[in-house]
Structure 1
Amino acid sequence: MSRIDDEWVSFGVTAALLSRLLQARAEVALQGVGGPSVIEVELLCRLAESEQGSLRMIDVADLLMVSKSGVTRLVDRLVEAGLVSRYSPPDNRRVVHAQITDKGRAVFEEARVIYAQSMRDTVERHATTEDRRNVHDVLRDVLEANGHPVETRYTNGQRTEADHAPR
């Protein structure tokens, strides 16, 4: 294997480790206050930021990069907790939507603060704001280029002038 291959392997391992570290720290913080899991927070975020607070189940699976059965189990848990409801539009009963409830919005807003603090506690001492924003931009670009848009209020689908600056 070449040195360049070794660098790509190292990159992949490092990215995977960082992802697991961030998720593990967020899980501990959220569970410490009896909050939802990280994947549940992501689903609530996606629903809260969607038009009318709902998404088709198939779109949820795509956005979260989970299987159809995985998203069904995830939504089942949130329905049971009263955070999400399911419905089928009258004009197309074959399609099922997940919709965030008022309780789900309230839980998401509380969890969002804990999640953000967990990210801040894990990263802030080790990277400047500029570093973090640059890494975020690169990660978003890679995800979007591979068909996984990261459009939420928190990325806003908009880029600032700094986002367009050459790297």
Structure 2
Amino acid sequence: MNPENRGNDEAARVADSRLVHDFGLLIKAATRLEQRIDTALRKECEISHTMFEVLIRLCRHPDEEISQRRLADDLTLTSSGITRLIDRMEGSGLVRRVPAPGDRRSVLVESTDHGRAVFLRAAAAHAQVVERYFVAPLASADYGRLIHSLGEIEKALRDS
């Protein structure tokens, strides 16, 4: 066997490995679930899944001051990406920017009454998709183990 064929065989073996397969399954499932959520939110509430994530953060602790920078960090967006997103959300009346007290360079973002109303509708649509495609396909005990395991993975990543 020539060296090129050995390299092809080795690459094929690695590409077909259990770890590559299992992680790929996780990514495919998460991506398809996110796509279903995004489609439902766009259809029923005219917002994207990313906009929903912003509204979650703003509505979770309504009295908390949340800067655009913190939102960008939470959502792993660039500063220009969060600026464009907040521009669109502000244009739709979902959020408003307010100056940060004591720091002229920083801008805070808060939900509007309209934004909170849209969030409540979106949360119901989100819950339906999650229930149907994330919870219902599993037995109760399997779902509990999955959630526990995902928590352990997240903790290992956070602590490293």
In the alignment, what sits opposite 2:100? 89
1:17 aligns with 2:28: yes
Aligned match of 1:50: 61
Q: Is the 8 A contact 2:37 2:126 kept in 1?
A: yes
For the pair shown, the structure with the greater C-alpha radius of gyration is 2
Partner of 1:36: 47
Whole-angstrom CA distance in 2 between matches of 1:61 and 1:8:
31
Q: SS where residue 98 of structure 1 aligns?
A: strand
What residue is the counterpart of 2:116 in the other structure?
105
Read off the aligned partner of 2:53 and give its amino acid letter.
Answer: E
TM-score, scaled relative to structure 2: 0.80
SS of the residue aligned with 1:52? coil
- Please say if residues 35 and 111 of structure 1, whose CA atoms lie closer than 8 Å, have aligned partners that are also in contact: no
Aligned to 2:7: none
- Tell me how far 1:84 sits from its aligned partner: 0.6
Deviations 1:18-68 (A, max 9, x none): 111111111222222243111111110011013515411111111112211
Whether the 8 Å contact between 2:45 and 2:122 is mirrored in structure 1 is no
Give the fraction of aligned pairs with identical amino acids, expressed as a percent.
Answer: 29
Asked if the contact 1:53/1:100 (under 8 Å) is kept, the reply is no
Residue 8 of structure 1 corresponds to 19
Provide the aligned length of Structure 1 versus Structure 2: 147
Q: Name structure 1 gaps, 5 residues minimum.
A: 149-167
What RMSD over aligned residues (CA atoms) do the two structures have, in Å? Answer: 2.3
* 2:37 match: 26
Distance 1:58 1:141, change over 3 A: farther
Q: By percentage of residues, which structure has more helix? A: 2
- Aligned-partner SS, 1:36: coil
Between Structure 1 and Structure 2, the one with more strand by share is 2
